[in-house]
């Protein structure tokens, strides 16, 4: 991450930090108007906060956003032996998976899927219809027959999708 | 029968009536607007009317008076565009928009002018008396992309917000350049010799025209906001101030030879925030409705008059010149877009794709502004040639380009589609990721412009709001206002229903006493009929990402699109879960 990007991120961090105490709380995030009308707004906000904490510092802020750095070509080949960078395809997918899987048992259960679906779809869909959509989704992905989507199955469903592009912020180099 | 007495208002009203009836007629046939853009149909109606008048009177039908166009027909459309222009994407892309508007237009003008001059040199075409200056003058009026035509056609094709704002913003702002170049070349035509000083004066004039227009617009906008601060007791005439001040800004700018279009846009964008906070809700609705109404009428009238004025003896048909004009317009625009986009993509990461470039280039429609400018030309013996060429270019762009842009866009989009339809799971997950990305992008903020936006916000809250707002409290974003409105409505509903508990207002969210056997559900899910049903449900009901819809629509008010309905639903759901 280049120096100028860090500076920009920091200025954004400070402009969000209305309390000026060097950390962001959930209210600071909720103040962003576009986030309020994002169906997944709450979950995205929660993703920034480590387990059980209510404040996130700049390091944590950057760490979460680093998942969304676009993958550059020259990065793919170098450093095969080092730890996988945060913005690798696998880690990006892991981030998304964690947003589905609230109880962190490593699987997206039918209920968790239903919750997300309900957030993304209008109120005109009955519970029954929503249930059948969820069932269909699980049925397509499920390979080990446990009626839930594990991380490996999640990855397989999205294998044809250009996740690297879909999960990269377009204005970060 | 005292026809003379009422003739002028009677005829005007008849024309407006014709325009409105034509509009109704088109929308009666549901299929028609999707194949043929409305502007084409209107020109067609105009052609018919012109033909009828020509046949009856055996002389040329009344040519659209340039004054009528510039003073009465154009301002409502530009005001509507400026008022409802979504300011966030506009200012995000302002650099690109200005680049296309200024540099692109200049490129087009000189390109077309010089290449047409080259054509004139060919002896076979008998065009030698058209001088370079005349060609440049013609180039300056034909190169400008017209906001009216662009708006009319872009509504039919659904492009993403950014592209829409680019083409739209460009068509509005290139007026400044067009005005300067047109007046420059026209004054050069009348001057015996041209010194280089005059050229520099021209360049300087461009800045004066553009910035002057903005200043005039802002001045009137602020005055309008200030006036509405005191209108608490006379709510009925509040909407009038909005229109009066905007129109005055346009006229004042034109009076000083500045760009009226830029002025009116600056006025509308500047005053919108404060005026909306000051005036009552009903006045606000009135303003919105009247603006849409007037701009619709203007729009329709312009196209009809264009059709009417085409018929007649105003033309000199020199086919080589005309054909080459059309070709050069297309070629130079395409080249300009390519070159400029190359530079833009180097500077921003947010690249403009090839498909976008095609739409920008192909969507450069010419319209009524060119037409009026050509009639304003001083009378020299080749004027009719220019009129003919302009007419053909406009008709070509509106008809051919207007009608084919949609199929071509679809064709380009289809090429990227995958071979197999996405599975349900993929659809859901993809949409999930899209929402996630939109959210992260919002959190990470918008670079570069954010610095200026913060400064402007600071200036705004410290000084402007105290002066211009009646009740000075914490600025509320439209989301919060919407939320409060919903809360109030919800509370009223509850009170009326006599319940104080948490009563669900949507029957579909009620949990029926149906027992759902899970095994049975899985079996049903395998059924292909159910699958189709699911796909349809998803396609219709998944919430759209914030940025995929056009934020500005000529025919509907901003509060009535389905996007806002979804927004309300999301807010209600979140509130319930809190």
> Is the CB of A124 inside 8 Å of chain B's CB atoms?
yes
Q: pLDDT, tens digit, for every residue of A29-51?
A: 877 777 777 778 888 888 888 77
> Is the CB of A137 inside 8 Å of chain B's CB atoms?
yes
CB burial class (10 A; 0-12, 13-18, 19+) of residue B216? buried
Query: Quick one: closest CA in A to B428, which residue?
Result: A117
Rg, Å, chain B Cα set: 27
Q: pLDDT, tens digit, for every residue of B488-499?
A: 666 766 666 654
Torsion sign across C-alpha atoms B1, B4, B8, B12: positive
- The mean per-residue pLDDT over the stretch B114-139 comes to 79
- The mean per-residue pLDDT over the stretch B335-358 comes to 79
pTM of full prediction above 0.80: no
Contact B436, A47 (CB under 8 A): no
> Is the CB of A116 inside 8 Å of chain B's CB atoms?
yes
The whole-angstrom separation of Cα B553 and Cα B92 is 19
pLDDT at position B233 over 70: yes
Q: Which residues of A touch B431 (CB under 8 A)?
A: 120
pLDDT at residue B248, as a whole number: 93
How wide is the angle at C-alpha B150 spanned by C-alphas B149 and B152, nearest 5°?
Answer: 65
Determine whether the interchain pair A167/B436 forms a contact, defined as Cβ–Cβ distance below 8 Å. Answer: yes
Q: How confident is the model at residue B525 (pLDDT cuts 50, 70, 90)?
A: very low
Q: Which residues of A touch B530 (CB under 8 A)?
A: 132, 136
Pairing state between β A56-57 and A149-150: unpaired
User: Shortest CB distance from A137 goes to which of B424, B430, B480?
Assistant: B424
Longest dimension (CA), chain A: 52
Domain boundaries, chain B: 64-412, 426-476
The whole-angstrom separation of Cα B546 and Cα B479 is 13
Q: How confident is the model at residue B506 (pLDDT cuts 50, 70, 90)?
A: very low
Percent of chain B with pLDDT over 90: 4
Asked which of B287-301, B387-401, B500-514, B528-542 is least confident by mean pLDDT, the reply is B500-514
Determine whether the interchain pair B432/A96 forms a contact, defined as Cβ–Cβ distance below 8 Å. Answer: yes
Determine whether the interchain pair A11/B429 forms a contact, defined as Cβ–Cβ distance below 8 Å. Answer: no
User: Shortest CB distance from A140 goes to which of B425, B435, B546?
Assistant: B425
Query: Quick one: closest CA in A to B539, which residue?
Result: A121
pLDDT at residue B550, as a whole number: 53
Mean pLDDT of chain B: 75
Smallest Cα–Cα separation from B333: which of B154, B485, B109, B164?
Answer: B109
Q: Name the β-bridge partners of B472.
A: none
The whole-angstrom separation of Cα B106 and Cα B147 is 17
ipTM, interface predicted TM-score of the complex:
0.86
The whole-angstrom separation of Cα A98 and Cα A89 is 14
Number of residues that make up chain B: 578
Q: How confident is the model at residue A26 (pLDDT cuts 50, 70, 90)?
A: confident
> Is the CB of A44 inside 8 Å of chain B's CB atoms?
yes
Smallest Cα–Cα separation from B403: which of B143, B145, B157?
Answer: B157
3-state secondary structure of A56: strand
Q: How confident is the model at residue B263 (pLDDT cuts 50, 70, 90)?
A: very high
Determine whether the interchain pair B445/A157 forms a contact, defined as Cβ–Cβ distance below 8 Å. Answer: no
Query: Quick one: closest CA in A to B478, which residue?
Result: A33
Contact B168, B550 (CB under 8 A): no
pLDDT at residue B554, as a whole number: 60
A71 DSSP 8-state letter:
P
Alpha helices in B191-318 (DSSP H): 196-228, 238-255, 260-278, 281-310
Q: pLDDT, tens digit, for every residue of B360-408?
A: 888 888 887 888 888 777 777 778 888 888 888 888 888 888 888 878 8
pLDDT at position B524 over 50: no
- Domains of chain A from N-terminus onward: 3-67 (1.10.238.10), 88-164 (1.10.238.10)
pLDDT at residue A171, as a whole number: 56
3-state secondary structure of B464: helix
Token code pair at residue B251: 């006229």
Residue B499: CB atoms within 10 A of its CB come to 10
- The mean per-residue pLDDT over the stretch B152-180 comes to 78
Q: Which residues of A touch B511 (CB under 8 A)?
A: 127
Q: How confident is the model at residue B351 (pLDDT cuts 50, 70, 90)?
A: low
Determine whether the interchain pair A123/B418 forms a contact, defined as Cβ–Cβ distance below 8 Å. Answer: no
pLDDT at position A74 over 80: no
**Fold topology of B64-412:** Na+/H+ antiporter like fold (1.20.1530)
Q: pLDDT, tens digit, for every residue of A140-151?
A: 788 888 888 888
């Amino acid at each position: 991450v280049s120096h100028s990007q860090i500076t920009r991120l920091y200025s954004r961090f400070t402009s969000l930090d209305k309390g000026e105490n060097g950390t962001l709380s959930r209210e600071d995030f909720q103040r962003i108007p576009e986030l309020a009308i994002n169906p997944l707004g709450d979950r995205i906000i929660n993703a920034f906060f480590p387990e059980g904490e209510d404040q996130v510092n700049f390091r944590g802020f950057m760490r979460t956003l680093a998942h969304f750095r676009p993958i550059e070509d020259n990065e793919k080949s170098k450093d095969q032996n080092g730890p996988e960078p945060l913005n690798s395809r696998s880690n990006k997918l892991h981030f998304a998976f964690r947003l589905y899987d609230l109880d962190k048992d490593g699987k997206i259960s039918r209920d968790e899927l239903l919750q997300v679906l309900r957030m993304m779809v209008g109120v005109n869909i009955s519970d029954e219809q929503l249930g059948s959509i969820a069932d269909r989704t699980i049925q397509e992905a499920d390979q080990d027959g446990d009626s839930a989507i594990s991380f490996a199955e999640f990855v397989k469903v999205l294998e044809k999708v250009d996740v690297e592009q879909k999960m990269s912020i377009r204005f970060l180099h | 029968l005292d026809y003379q007495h009422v003739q002028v208002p009677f005829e005007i009203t008849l024309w407006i009536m014709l325009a409105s009836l034509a509009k109704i007629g088109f929308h009666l046939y549901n299929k028609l607007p999707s194949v043929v853009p409305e502007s084409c149909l209107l020109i067609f109606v105009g052609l018919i009317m012109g033909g009828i008048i020509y046949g009856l009177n055996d002389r040329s039908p009344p040519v659209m008076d340039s004054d009528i166009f510039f003073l009465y027909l154009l301002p409502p459309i530009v005001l509507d565009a400026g008022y409802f222009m979504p300011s966030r994407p506009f200012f995000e892309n302002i650099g690109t928009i200005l680049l296309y508007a200024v540099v692109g237009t200049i490129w087009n003008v000189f390109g077309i002018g010089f290449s047409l001059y080259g054509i004139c040199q060919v002896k076979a075409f008998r065009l030698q008396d058209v001088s370079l200056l005349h060609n440049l003058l013609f180039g300056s009026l034909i190169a400008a992309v017209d906001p009216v035509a662009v708006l009319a056609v872009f509504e039919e094709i659904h492009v993403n917000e950014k592209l829409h704002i680019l083409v739209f913003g460009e068509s509005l702002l290139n007026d400044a350049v067009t005005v300067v170049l047109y007046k420059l070349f026209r004054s050069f035509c009348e001057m015996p010799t041209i010194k280089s000083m005059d050229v520099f004066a021209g360049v300087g004039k461009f800045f004066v025209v553009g910035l002057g227009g903005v200043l005039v617009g802002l001045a009137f906008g602020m005055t309008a906001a200030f006036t509405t601060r005191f209108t608490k007791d006379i709510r009925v005439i509040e909407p009038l101030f909005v229109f009066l001040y905007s129109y005055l800004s346009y006229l004042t700018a034109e009076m000083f030879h500045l760009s009226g279009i830029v002025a009116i846009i600056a006025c509308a964008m500047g005053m919108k925030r404060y005026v909306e906070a000051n005036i009552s809700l009903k006045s606000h609705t009135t303003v919105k409705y009247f603006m849409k109404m007037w701009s619709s009428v203007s729009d329709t009238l312009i196209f009809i008059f264009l059709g009417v004025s085409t018929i007649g003896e105003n033309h000199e048909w020199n086919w080589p010149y005309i054909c080459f004009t059309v070709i050069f317009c297309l070629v130079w625009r395409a080249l300009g877009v390519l070159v400029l986009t190359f530079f833009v993509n180097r500077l921003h990461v947010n690249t403009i794709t090839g498909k976008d470039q095609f739409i920008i280039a192909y969507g450069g429609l010419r319209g009524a502004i060119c037409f009026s400018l050509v009639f304003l030309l001083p009378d020299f013996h080749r004027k009719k040639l220019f009129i003919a060429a302009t007419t053909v270019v406009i008709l070509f762009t509106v008809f051919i380009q207007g009608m084919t842009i949609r199929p071509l866009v679809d064709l380009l989009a289809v090429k990227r589609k995958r071979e197999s339809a996405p599975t349900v799971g993929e659809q859901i997950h993809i949409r999930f990721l899209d929402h996630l990305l939109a959210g992260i992008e919002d959190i990470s903020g918008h670079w570069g412009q954010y610095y200026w936006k913060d400064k402007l916000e600071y200036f705004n809250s410290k000084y402007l709001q105290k002066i211009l707002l009646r009740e000075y409290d914490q600025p509320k974003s439209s989301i919060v206002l919407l939320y409060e409105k919903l809360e109030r409505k919800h509370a009223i509903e509850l009170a009326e229903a006599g319940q104080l508990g948490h009563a669900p207002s949507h029957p579909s969210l009620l949990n029926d006493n149906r027992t759902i056997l899970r095994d049975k559900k899985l079996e049903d899910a395998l059924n292909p009929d159910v699958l189709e049903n699911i796909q349809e449900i998803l396609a219709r009901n998944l919430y759209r990402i914030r940025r995929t819809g056009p934020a500005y629509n000529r025919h509907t008010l901003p509060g009535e699109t389905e996007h806002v309905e979804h927004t309300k639903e999301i807010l209600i759901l979140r509130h319930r879960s809190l």
